Amino acid sequence: MAHIIDGKAIAADIRRELAEKTAELKQTRGITPGLGLLLVGDNPASQSYVRSKEKACAELGYHSVVLRWPEDAGEEQILEQVRAWNEDDSIHGILVQLPLPRHVDEQRVLLAISPRKDVDGFHPENVGRLVTGLPGFVPCTPAGIMELLTRSNVPTKGRHVVVVGRSNIVGKPMANLLYQKHSRANAVVTICHTGADDISYYTRQADILIAAVGVPHLIKASDVKDGVVVIDVGVNQVQDATAPKGRRLVGDVDFDSVAPKASAITPVPGGVGPMTIAMLLSNTFRSAIGEVFRA
Ligand SMILES: NC(=O)c1ccc[n+]([C@@H]2O[C@H](COP(=O)([O-])OP(=O)(O)OC[C@H]3O[C@@H](n4cnc5c(N)ncnc54)[C@H](OP(=O)(O)O)[C@@H]3O)[C@@H](O)[C@H]2O)c1
């Protein structure tokens, strides 16, 4: 049976480390990491994400400003807030919770965030920095997966990593991180998507398989080879009459059939999910100490 990569425990370690470093930073340099969070509308999932982020900031002793605006908030009002945070020295990270309401041009808002405070790593400048191997902010979910691999002692050098999914927030940055020429990466990477006729042909060749698809249980035992390391990014709600609310969360990987073949695997929930907020906190800390754009 596979080693279960416990993202909850690893994320808790990172949060503990950050809490210690934050206390020291306040004492030695008088700096409190600050995060500005803007939520527009009443999407229940977004509300829950923002609550978790707010709570995590409080736990670590960060300064956080959380704005919850109604669905009909205007694009100009949002842009003005972003610009105000860009100029605010107490705010080191800016996060506009996505998705934004339809009448708002999401790209325009993301472009307005200063790349130096773009702790989500979605600004094209940070995307360019990632691709070219320059220091910058890396999107939180793939950054969290790199931490999971490192802290679980999964070597990547020369390993064949197959990433299923090519979204801008997970698949693409994940692939870009993994093929970089440095000691924590240096993998050979294949990216699969709906353009592939038979994704199983590729996934069966993976030493490390990263599924970021959004299709419940897409990856079955027959899609992986023995000894594979599996990172399941998917978070999918499925009906389950036996679950308390009649539904439960499952990943993109059929855990029960794949785990016996894998050497290590992340569960859903409790795998990749907790790492995302931990890396948001880490990015905000790195911004506060001015580490990111030194080079
Ligand atoms: N745990 C976390 O913190 C976290 C964070 C972010 C996302 N997620 C979860 O991760 C999953 C993916 O998220 P996302 O934002 O990357 O999703 P997304 O933007 O919908 O992208 C999904 C990707 O999967 C590909 N795909 C879909 N069906 C496929 C199939 N049958 N075969 C091969 N490729 C297929 C799509 O290909 P095309 O490009 O060809 O359409 C696309 O590139 C979702 O379940 C999401 O909830 C979790």
- Residue having the nearest C-alpha atom to atom 18 of ligand 1: 167
* Tens digit of each residue's pLDDT (9 = 90 or more) over 139-196: 999 999 999 999 999 999 999 999 999 999 999 999 999 999 999 999 999 999 999 9
Domains of the chain: 30-114 (3.40.50.10860), 140-273 (3.40.50.720)
Tokens representing residue 42 in the block: 């009443």
* Tens digit of each residue's pLDDT (9 = 90 or more) over 104-149: 999 999 999 999 999 999 999 999 999 999 999 999 999 999 999 9
Q: Are 62 and 4 in contact (CB under 8 A)?
A: no
Confidence of residue 294 (pLDDT cuts 50, 70, 90): low
Integer CA distances (angstroms), 139 to 119, 209, 225, in order: 8, 19, 29
To test the pocket of ligand 1, the residue of 52, 193, 210 to mutate (highest count of ligand atoms within 8 Å of its CB) is 193
pLDDT value, residue 1:
81
- Residue having the nearest C-alpha atom to atom 31 of ligand 1: 194
Residue 247 has φ and ψ, to the nearest 5°, of -150, 160
* Residue 213 near ligand 1, beta carbon < 6 Å: yes
Compute the distance from residue 214 Cα to the ligand 1 centre, in Å: 4
